[in-house]
Chains A and B, each alone.
Chain A
Amino acid sequence: MRGTDLLARAASVAVTLVVVSIFTFLLLRVLPGDPALLILGAESPGDTLAEMRRELGTDRPLLVQYGAWVASVARGELGISIRHRQPVLDLIIERLPVTLSLSLLALLVALAIGLPLGVVAAARRGTVVDYGALAFSQLGQAIPPFWLGIMLILAFALKLRWLPTGGYEPWSDDPAEALRSLAMPSLALGVVLAAQIARMQRSSMLDVMGEDFVRTARAKGLPESRVVYWHTLRNALIPTVTVVGLQVGSVLGGAIIIEQIFALPGLGRLVLFAVVNRDWPLIQGLVFFLAALTVVLNLLVDLSYAWLDPRTRRA
């Protein structure tokens, strides 16, 4: 039963990836701008350009180009960047740590703020704490992360001068500096998710509190704090995990603009570089990689339900 489930899930992931690859490819064929011109610069005469086009393969028919690309993806390659003249995969791997650090820290920030807030709000339902949490979750979802980023720069970098306005220090150089350079970006990126988590956690806690097993626990005379924080929390986490899973894409997407504001050399800046420079093998590879990453992370979230909810394990 579980085996076939997993197989079906994997098959649908595969189909999604094929659809993604077709979308990516078709979308980028419409891009105006001649890559050959960009590489050689504006001063190049026509015959030089034609030679470059032959070398890049942009003079071949569309289907042939798509076939070549899919074949290279199947080999675990993502093509060669026009501007960097390096394999796209190498470029992605170089910058992945920045984006992953940022996204994971943002997730941590979101959980660290959102979970306790949701739990406390549910436990103290109707009190000032609850209203405060509600206000936070509404505001957090309304404030654009990049504006929050700019305001953080204004406050902590320009006025107070506690943190750098931007730039990135690798973890390997100096972990403390790395953390300092990622503090504001991950806060700016994490607050939206924190707001969503707080809200979801609160409402699912309230739902679970009404269920039989919680009532049983209460009837058995377990202390209220234990009921709330143990019995309820674990079960109420499921919808929250779903929210986190659904937001994987928006965190990665948000990282693009946050990296731009804080000058972090991650995948987001690479995306913008590729778009501005019409580096289509790079855009194609990046878009496909990020979409695939989202799909795979979603799959992992699905699988984590089984661990969180014993009922689905039995089913």
Chain B
Amino acid sequence: MISRLIAALAALLLGAAGATAADTPPAPRPGGAVTVAALANPDGLDPHRSPADSTFIITMNIFDGLVATNARGELLPGLAERWNISGDGLTYTFELRRGVTFHDGKPLTSADVKYSLARMAEKGKSPHAADYAIIARVETPSPTTVVITLSRPSARFLSDLAYGWAAIVPEGAGDELARKPIGTGPFRFVEWVPDSHVKLVKNARYFVPGRPYLDEVLFKVIPDETARVTALRAGEIDITERVPPQMVDELRANRSLRVETYPSNTLSELAINAARKPFDDIRVRRALFHAIDRAAVLEGANFGYGRLIGSFMAPIIGEYYVDLNGRYPHDLAKAKALLAEAGYPNGFETTLYLPQPYPDYSAAGEIIASQLARVGIRVRLETLEWGQWLERVYKQKDYALTAIGHYGRLDPITLLERFKTGYNANYFGYSNPEFDRLLNEGDVTHDRAKRRAIVRRLQELLSEDAACVFLVSRDAIVGFQRDVWGYAELPIPGNRLTDVYRASR
């Protein structure tokens, strides 16, 4: 009561003082409900069986992992209160929190963890099975102790337990989870009406005291961006991600709304197939880098909301990030000279694939095509539906150029593994023995300083080799009703509303 009074007074005073008043969060208070826009109908609510963000945005509120993370990407205790890693880096011992129960009332035990880990690693069913193939054995010496033995040391393993797809589910839950998820998380599942909404209510017995603040969360499926913005304006929804950048100014002019931008752990690039002529020639790849006005791409595709990246790492990664943006300045003469040197004084013809579901990557591709025309590279654009994109680019690696983006990972080595020679997800045709050697070194070492040096060198190699034309780490643009606070952007796919609260009502 008193805190609310103080908050109100503070708001009043600050309001008189200046326009920034609205941006000062009032004190949290429990109660209330929010409606969140879901960008797509979830692809099922089973965290172990879906590759899609649309699932994790919801399921991360229903489930917990052994390990949790925050906006800075730090690894924190989740369902595991503490853990211990053996000297050889092979054995991980987790002590579970006591007194945690699932939403159906059953207590959490080590058997549930063992079941969940097995389910995450299930080949042919779990999209992330490969990440957990390293688990050799899981033992449960007591109901609150889990011992995981790896087949080889891996410094990234702990971070692999913090993603939305590493959720702990009740033993024996099975495929029912897709329609009726049961977890230990801050919110309990109530109903899912496909293509309409998912409803969650507060888990009163959540293990973090005083959380969550909200009594109820409704995810409303609104795939169309215009419709989302209108719904926000109309007060039908309280939070929406992916506000179209061209709408930010207009929404900020609306006094009942707030728009926040957060740096995100995402990367976009012009992917180049280095296994194919003429892109096997490093001079051609470097020419592309010089020919593309990346600042114009950031402005045109993202309306300036984001940062330019010079290698395959988002600035949000902090200590591991190195700014390599200065390596290839926008310079048409230089680009032409490099092309001439490589034997293409008059440029060449090529094809650039645009991924149909992503308007910002497609926009980047269109802008780039127009820019490359200025150095004589004639680009044919082709829009591929997502299935075709995956098939042609990802699986068959049968492409020349494509504009695309990736969600970052918590661990820099996990992220950079994509460029390892012969790696499944390396569709760039990139191969550099020095890169591979350093990557393996970085994967096994737990020495933080050594790891940092390796990761920085890896980024430099990608930049020197012009493995891609690295473009933008876009900002996450989120729109709120003015009284909704406590939202944070996590550096992994999905999000949690544990700390979100409503200041009024």
Complex A–B touching at CB under 8 A = yes
Residues of A within 8 A of B (CB): 32-35, 37-38, 40-45, 47-48, 51-52, 55, 83-86, 91, 94-95, 153, 157-158, 164-168, 170, 262-263, 265, 269, 273, 275-278
4 smallest beta-carbon distances between A and B, as pairs: A41-B51, A51-B124, A33-B387, A265-B195
A165–B124 Cα distance when bound, in Å, is: 41
Q: Does B227 contact A (CB under 8 A)?
A: yes
Whether B395 and A37, one on each chain, are in contact in the complex, defined by CB atoms closer than 8 angstroms, is yes
Task: Give 28 A-B contacts (CB < 8 Å), ordered by A residue.
Answer: A32-B388, A33-B387, A33-B390, A34-B391, A34-B395, A37-B387, A40-B124, A41-B127, A42-B390, A42-B425, A44-B130, A44-B424, A47-B124, A48-B124, A48-B130, A83-B43, A94-B195, A153-B226, A164-B236, A166-B224, A166-B227, A167-B222, A167-B236, A170-B196, A263-B222, A276-B356, A276-B357, A277-B387
Tally of B interface residues using CB under 8 Å: 37
Give the distance to chain B from A302, nearest Cβ to Cβ, in Å: 34
Whether B44 and A269, one on each chain, are in contact in the complex, defined by CB atoms closer than 8 angstroms, is no
Name which of A34, A158, A166, A167 has the most chain B CB atoms within 10 A of its CB: A167
Q: Does B152 contact A (CB under 8 A)?
A: no
On chain B, the residues within 8 Å of A153 by CB distance are 226
User: How many inter-chain residue pairs (CB < 8 Å) link A and B?
Assistant: 109
Whether A37 and B391, one on each chain, are in contact in the complex, defined by CB atoms closer than 8 angstroms, is yes
Q: Which of A47, A83, A273 contacts B123 (CB 8 A)?
A: A47
Whether B390 and A37, one on each chain, are in contact in the complex, defined by CB atoms closer than 8 angstroms, is yes
16 new A-B contacts, CB < 8 A, other than A43-B425, A47-B123, A269-B195, are A33-B385, A37-B390, A37-B394, A43-B424, A45-B130, A48-B123, A52-B124, A84-B44, A167-B236, A263-B222, A265-B195, A269-B223, A275-B385, A276-B385, A277-B386, A277-B387
Name which of A35, A44, A52 has the most chain B CB atoms within 10 A of its CB: A44
Give the distance to chain A from B102, nearest Cβ to Cβ, in Å: 23
On chain A, the residues within 8 Å of B254 by CB distance are none
On chain B, the residues within 8 Å of A51 by CB distance are 123-124
On chain B, the residues within 8 Å of A48 by CB distance are 123-124, 129-130
Q: With A43-B51, A48-B123, A84-B194 as known contacts, state yes or no: A263 contacts B223, CB within 8 Å.
A: yes
Q: Which of A47, A85, A167, A278 contacts B385 (CB 8 A)?
A: A278
Give the distance to chain B from A255, nearest Cβ to Cβ, in Å: 15
User: Which chain B residues in 370-408 approach chain A with CB under 8 Å?
Assistant: 385-388, 390-391, 394-395
Whether B129 and A44, one on each chain, are in contact in the complex, defined by CB atoms closer than 8 angstroms, is yes
A130–B227 Cα distance when bound, in Å, is: 39
Q: Which of A34, A43, A55, A166 contacts B230 (CB 8 A)?
A: A166
Whether A33 and B127, one on each chain, are in contact in the complex, defined by CB atoms closer than 8 angstroms, is no
Q: With A166-B224, A166-B227 as known contacts, state yes or no: A44 contacts B385, CB within 8 Å.
A: no
Q: Which of B222, B223, B390 contacts A38 (CB 8 A)?
A: B390
Q: Does B100 contact A (CB under 8 A)?
A: no
Whether A40 and B127, one on each chain, are in contact in the complex, defined by CB atoms closer than 8 angstroms, is yes
Residues of B within 8 A of A (CB): 41, 43-44, 51-52, 123-124, 127-130, 178, 194-196, 221-224, 226-227, 230-231, 234, 236, 356-357, 385-388, 390-391, 394-395, 424-425
Give the distance to chain B from A165, nearest Cβ to Cβ, in Å: 4
A307–B277 Cα distance when bound, in Å, is: 71
On chain A, the residues within 8 Å of B227 by CB distance are 164-167, 262-263
Whether A94 and B194, one on each chain, are in contact in the complex, defined by CB atoms closer than 8 angstroms, is yes
A271–B445 Cα distance when bound, in Å, is: 50
Whether B391 and A32, one on each chain, are in contact in the complex, defined by CB atoms closer than 8 angstroms, is yes
A83–B54 Cα distance when bound, in Å, is: 13
On chain A, the residues within 8 Å of B390 by CB distance are 33-34, 37-38, 42
Residue on B with the closest CB to A278? B387
A52–B122 Cα distance when bound, in Å, is: 12
A262–B123 Cα distance when bound, in Å, is: 40
A157–B387 Cα distance when bound, in Å, is: 34
Residue on A with the closest CB to B179? A86
A131–B328 Cα distance when bound, in Å, is: 66
On chain B, the residues within 8 Å of A278 by CB distance are 385, 387-388
Give the distance to chain B from A8, nearest Cβ to Cβ, in Å: 41
On chain B, the residues within 8 Å of A41 by CB distance are 51-52, 127
Give the distance to chain B from A273, nearest Cβ to Cβ, in Å: 8
Whether B230 and A164, one on each chain, are in contact in the complex, defined by CB atoms closer than 8 angstroms, is yes
Q: Which of A38, A91, A167 contacts B231 (CB 8 A)?
A: A167
On chain A, the residues within 8 Å of B41 by CB distance are 265, 273
Whether A165 and B230, one on each chain, are in contact in the complex, defined by CB atoms closer than 8 angstroms, is yes
Give the distance to chain A from B402, nearest Cβ to Cβ, in Å: 13
A152–B336 Cα distance when bound, in Å, is: 49
Give the distance to chain B from A281, nearest Cβ to Cβ, in Å: 14
A225–B195 Cα distance when bound, in Å, is: 50
On chain B, the residues within 8 Å of A83 by CB distance are 43
Whether A43 and B127, one on each chain, are in contact in the complex, defined by CB atoms closer than 8 angstroms, is yes
Whether B387 and A40, one on each chain, are in contact in the complex, defined by CB atoms closer than 8 angstroms, is no
On chain B, the residues within 8 Å of A47 by CB distance are 123-124
On chain A, the residues within 8 Å of B221 by CB distance are 265
A100–B335 Cα distance when bound, in Å, is: 57
Whether A85 and B130, one on each chain, are in contact in the complex, defined by CB atoms closer than 8 angstroms, is no
Name which of A32, A40, A95, A164 has the most chain B CB atoms within 10 A of its CB: A40
On chain A, the residues within 8 Å of B223 by CB distance are 263, 269
On chain B, the residues within 8 Å of A277 by CB distance are 386-387
Give the distance to chain B from A83, nearest Cβ to Cβ, in Å: 6
A84–B195 Cα distance when bound, in Å, is: 11
On chain A, the residues within 8 Å of B226 by CB distance are 153, 165-166
Give the distance to chain B from A283, nearest Cβ to Cβ, in Å: 11
A45–B395 Cα distance when bound, in Å, is: 10
Residue on B with the closest CB to A31? B387
On chain B, the residues within 8 Å of A275 by CB distance are 385
Q: With A38-B387, A167-B231, A170-B196 as known contacts, state yes or no: A43 contacts B130, CB within 8 Å.
A: yes
On chain A, the residues within 8 Å of B124 by CB distance are 40, 47-48, 51-52, 55
Give the distance to chain A from B358, nearest Cβ to Cβ, in Å: 12
Q: Which of A164, A168, A265 contacts B234 (CB 8 A)?
A: A164
Residue on A with the closest CB to B385? A276
Residue on B with the closest CB to A173? B196
A84–B40 Cα distance when bound, in Å, is: 12
On chain A, the residues within 8 Å of B127 by CB distance are 40-41, 43-44
Q: With A38-B387, A164-B234 as known contacts, state yes or no: A91 contacts B194, CB within 8 Å.
A: yes
A95–B221 Cα distance when bound, in Å, is: 14
On chain B, the residues within 8 Å of A43 by CB distance are 51, 127-128, 130, 424-425
Residue on B with the closest CB to A43? B425
Residue on B with the closest CB to A90? B194
A86–B226 Cα distance when bound, in Å, is: 29
On chain A, the residues within 8 Å of B394 by CB distance are 37, 42
On chain A, the residues within 8 Å of B357 by CB distance are 276
On chain A, the residues within 8 Å of B51 by CB distance are 40-43
A91–B44 Cα distance when bound, in Å, is: 13
Give the distance to chain B from A279, nearest Cβ to Cβ, in Å: 9
On chain B, the residues within 8 Å of A45 by CB distance are 130, 424
Residue on A with the closest CB to B131? A43
Q: With A41-B51, A157-B230 as known contacts, state yes or no: A276 contacts B44, CB within 8 Å.
A: no
A40–B50 Cα distance when bound, in Å, is: 7
